[in-house]
Structure 1
Amino acid sequence: MRIALHEVTKGKKGHALPATSLEIETGHARFVLVETELRPTVLGLIATGRMRPDSGEVTIDGARNAKELRRRTALVDAPEVSDPHPGVTLAAVVGEELMFAGLPATPVHARRWLNDIGFGELAAQPIGTIKPSVRVRVMAELAVLRDDVEGFVLVSPDRHGGRPEGWWRIATEFADRGFAVLVIVGGSAAAVIERLPEALETDYPSNATVPVRPLADVTGQTALLPQADPVAEPAEDPVAEPVEAPEPDGDQDSVVERAERDETPRSEEPGEPDPAGDRVSSRSPSASSLNDPGEASDEPDPAAEPPVVDTDTGPHADTDTDPTNGAER
């Protein structure tokens, strides 16, 4: 699988996301440097087919197919979209993800799954207190439980602190297992990753903004893509795949609306966000996880059973969704 983004932008005059091009493919972990609070999430949504760019294009194996892209990729731990509420216990997060992967999802099954990957003793601990590298390991393992997922985008793991080497090497392990991995990071983390021995010794560029090969379709023929006019207003693509999306959650702002509000001068009107959707139930903490972090409850929270599922792709908000794949991010 190869995913290519060519000159994608979001928001009026690219305020939510300026023109960005990158490539990722099966068997490789790559990083891309994206600064500010909200742009990493916007890029993650676009790279996984959960948000339409205002200009540019996104292809998977040389074709423009947002539905296929959503089915085969996951969006992991994106702020404001798929990151669990910090007060929810690790077992509760695991249980919800097991359910969306079509697996048994009781508290017992969640603890058993955590035991299997070596973190059973952390089941009752709020995820907001989990060591960054452990958090990345757990969230990534949950993301690839679904049979269709061939790659994932991990958003801003450096915001949790810790040493970048820890979670970056976890990303490379998943690449060695045959997944396509993109990690969106800030400048400090990117500087560390670039100086790791494995990054210096490999002939494969770890930075996703360095093309693997020229943009190509599935036959291997180079595709020449027209350059966007820098002064022209982006036009709506007449052949873009229509995406059916649910009503946005009224309780939280759109990622793009927030980016526009933060980035756009007051005299300009914010651009309209693309409709999008993802499950968000793990963003609301249960009473037991907040009041008694030392003890996990076997009784499911009445307010969370069945979990509140806004859409089909994880605790993401305001994203384009595929109603046939409720486990995607």
Structure 2
Amino acid sequence: MRIALNAVSKRPALDTVTLTYGTGEAVLARAETEQRPTVLGLLASGRMKPGSGTVTVDGVADASAIRRAIALVDAPDVSDPAPNVTVAGVVAEELMFAGRPSGVHAVKRTLASLGAAKHARDAIGQVPPTVRIRLLVELALLRDGVQGVVLTAPDRHGGDPNAWWRIALEVASRGFAVLVIAGDASAAAIAASSLVERLEAPWEDAEPDDDPTRDDSDTPILTERSLFDLPDVITRPVPVIENDTHTETSDE
């Protein structure tokens, strides 16, 4: 599955955007300001009609098919849970939306499978960012027919952007399409981390030095200017691994 936003805009909130995301990919799209991430998320998940441009799935303009296949996760004022609802309450509601048993035993098993049992009575607005994001993404994937997620503005919760980016990569490796919409600072942090990983790769994988006589030891990995040179979209194809485990939620 591949979803393409072709010269899409929704003015005045969103200027022209072109991007694609698909099965086995984690894609990070940069979007600043209060409204832009949510508007882009609504467009990318087939839940808003663009003012210009087209949104297609496998080359076909079919908003209904995109809505069925893509879950819009944690979009501010649209799909984010109320901050004072308990984690257990969020899980029960999401299991109900997914057409699965949502009783006490099912909720407990789901939380345990996601490593969040200790947060059952905590308000969702108070849990660590990675716990919240993992929980909401995994619960969205339980819905029938969902093949991917659009995660909106996870950076607003704080924490290390690389932590939720690793979640995006792991979910993509299971054969889902993942689009994350976040701000410039998060994109810069993720780009810097990716660059460090490349620099630490085995020497045989390194590209030849174009000037062996130049001393690059004090060259900064990511300069201040690099923030403005970042691409609008960072795409990471991920090798899809077989994973037939799924959260069990049946009541006893």
TM-score (norm 1): 0.60
1:116 aligns with 2:97: no
Structure 2 counterpart of 1:2 = 2
**1:121-136 correspondence runs (5 A):** 121-136=118-133
Residue 75 of structure 2 is aligned to residue 78 of structure 1: yes
For residue 109 of structure 1, report the CA deviation from its aligned partner. Answer: 1.7
Would you say the 8 A contact 1:24–1:208 is kept in 2? no
Amino acid in structure 1 at the alignment position of 2:4 = A
1:17 to 11, 14, 17: 14
The separation in 2 between residues aligned to 1:71 and 1:140, in whole angstroms, is 15
Superposition misfits of 4+ residues, deviation over 2 angstroms: 197-202, 206-212
Q: Distance in 1 between matches of 2:47 and 2:119?
A: 31
2:143 to 139, 143, 146: 146
Identical-pair percentage: 52
Paired amino acid for 2:171:
F
CA drift at 1:198: 7.3
- Counterpart CA distance in 1 for 2:187 and 2:99 is 36
* RMSD value, Cα: 2.0
Distance 2:90 2:235 in 1: 36
Distance 2:56 2:15 in 1: 18
Q: Which has the higher helix share?
A: 2
- Aligned-pair CA distance for 1:199: 8.5
CA shift, 1:87, in A, is 0.4
Counterpart AA for 1:209: V
Q: How far apart are 1:208 and its partner, in Å?
A: 6.7
Q: For residue 163 of structure 1, what is the aligned residue in structure 2?
A: 160
Partners of 2:27 and 2:234 within 8 A in 1: no
Partner of 2:43: 46
Q: Partner of 1:197: helix, strand, or coil? A: helix
Q: Deviations over 1:70-117 (max 9, x none)?
A: 010000000010111110000000000000111001233212210122
Equivalent in 65, 69, 73 of residue 68 of structure 1: 65
Q: Distance in 2 between matches of 1:155 and 1:161?
A: 13
Task: Say whether the 8 Å CA contact 2:26–2:235 is kept in structure 1.
Answer: no
Q: What is the CA deviation profile of residues 198-237 of structure 1, one whole-angstrom value per residue up to 9, with x for unaligned ones? A: 78649xxx9673789xxxxxxxxxxxxxxxxxxxxxxxxx
> Which structure shows the bigger proportion of residues in strand conformation?
2
Change (3 A) 1:210 1:190: closer
Residues 1-329 of structure 1 correspond to what in structure 2 (within 5 A)? 1-10=1-10, 14-197=11-194, 201=198, 209=233
Number of residue equivalences: 206
Cα distance in 2, alignment partners of residues 210 and 122 from structure 1:
32
Quick one: structure 1 residues 199 and 104, their matched pair in 2 at CA, closer, same or farther if it must change by over 3 Å? farther
Corresponding residue of 1:314: none
- When normalised by structure 2's length, the TM-score is 0.78
Q: Secondary structure at the match of 1:196?
A: helix
1: CA distance between counterparts of 2:19 and 2:68?
20
| Secondary structure of 1:169's aligned partner | helix
Amino acid at match of 1:180: A
